[in-house]
């Protein structure tokens, strides 16, 4: 067989990490480098040969097994480079053994000189790169899964917090309503029973403490609507509870006309210009927010 490359070129070829073979125009291997020969010797299915004199295209065409399709793609790419249809053919493919999984990067180029057609076929082992990519992919999947779990937990926590806040406000509103309905009404009756000065003092003390307990809604109203007077805030709290005008008047010991006057002022200050807007519904929405 003719000498393809000199000793210097041979030394350079053997120093490459890629598995390199040079093919003639028929696809017969006419030269290989050290990496190619070592790989063939370490893999029994390669028969331990340096492959010189073997028709590489025929080997690819007759390949069997799960990697056969990649072999046929390689042969087709080599032929395209040989006939000038492609300047370069590149392909990434798996090459697994019973002992381990490996991946290679195929590169086929044509030797550009005036001599006969020569094609350089190189296979670079990219297994470490593929293993690193697989590790990164698994880490990304794990991270995505943890992120989903955190998002689900965060969503559940938000729902619980919202429900807790709703329960808290509902309990507060029911507490305020019950105190208004029972405790405060009896205090008003005690006031109307001509109490002694000492009894009147006790009633005022009790009433003051109860109003402190009932202050959350009043405080929300005063913060949101700074322009409401203390009396208007009281009227607003009773309207929010659904109490009719006459009952509010009796509790506050004012006339029904005065209650209606306060209701009109409250609507005006809250910007409720349309009569279709229900004051109680609006105030309940204020309390919930």
Of the given ranges (18-22, 48-52, 67-71, 161-165), which has the lowest mean pLDDT?
Answer: 48-52
pLDDT of residue 8: 86
Note the CATH number of domain 7-125. 3.30.450.20
Q: Tell me what pLDDT residue 1 has.
A: 42
Say if residues 221 and 279 touch (Cβ distance below 8 Å). no
Whole-angstrom CA distances from 47 to 37, 43, 54, 152 are 11, 7, 12, 56
Tokens of 287: 């309390």
What's the whole-number mean pLDDT along residues 213-219? 62
Strands in 88-94's sheet, in edge-to-edge order, are 29-32, 19-23, 119-125, 103-110, 88-94
User: 276 Cβ partners below 8 Å, 6+ apart?
Assistant: none
Measure the CA–CA gap between 141 and 139, rounded to whole angstroms: 5
pLDDT digits (tens, 9 = 90+) for 179-214: 766 777 788 888 888 888 888 888 888 877 777 676
Residue owning tokens 């006459």: 246
| Distance, CA of 151 to chain centre | 7
Domain with CATH 3.30.450.20 in the chain: 7-125
Better pLDDT: 42 or 112: 112
The per-residue pLDDT for 215 is 63
Q: What is residue 129's predicted lDDT score, i.e. its pLDDT?
A: 92
What is the sign of the dihedral through the CA atoms of 49, 55, 57 and 62?
A: negative
The pLDDT of residue 45 is above 50: no
Query: What is the distance between the alpha carbons of residues 276 and 278, in angstroms, rounded to a whole number?
Result: 6
Read off the pLDDT band of 286 (50, 70, 90): low
Q: Give the pLDDT of residue 41.
A: 75
């Amino acid at each position: 067989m003719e000498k393809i490359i000199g000793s210097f070129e041979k030394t350079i070829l053997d120093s490459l990490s890629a598995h390199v073979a040079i093919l003639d125009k028929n696809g017969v291997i006419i030269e290989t480098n050290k990496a190619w020969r070592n790989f063939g010797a370490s893999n029994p299915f390669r028969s331990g040969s340096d492959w010189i004199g073997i028709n590489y295209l025929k080997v690819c065409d007759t390949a069997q097994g799960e990697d056969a399709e990649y072999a046929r793609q390689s042969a087709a790419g080599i032929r395209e480079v040989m006939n000038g249809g492609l300047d370069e053919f590149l392909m990434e493919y798996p090459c697994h053994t019973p002992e381990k999984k490996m991946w290679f990067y195929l590169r086929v180029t044509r030797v550009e000189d005036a001599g006969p057609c020569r094609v350089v076929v190189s296979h670079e082992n990219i297994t470490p790169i593929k293993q690193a990519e697989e590790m990164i992919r698994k880490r990304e999947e794990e991270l995505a899964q943890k992120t989903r779990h955190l998002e689900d937990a965060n969503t559940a926590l938000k729902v619980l917090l919202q429900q807790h806040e709703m329960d808290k406000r509902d309990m507060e509103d029911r507490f305020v309503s019950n105190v208004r309905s029972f405790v405060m009404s009896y205090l008003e009756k005690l006031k109307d029973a001509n109490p002694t000065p000492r009894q009147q003092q006790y009633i005022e003390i009790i009433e003051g403490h109860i109003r402190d307990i009932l202050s959350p809604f009043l405080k929300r109203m005063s913060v949101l609507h700074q322009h409401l007077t203390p009396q208007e805030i009281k009227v607003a709290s009773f309207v929010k509870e659904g109490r009719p005008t006459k009952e509010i008047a009796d509790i506050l010991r004012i006339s029904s006309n005065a209650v209606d006057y306060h209701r009109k002022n409250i609507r005006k200050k809250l910007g409720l210009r349309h009569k279709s807007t229900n004051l109680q519904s609006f105030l309940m929405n204020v309390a919930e927010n």
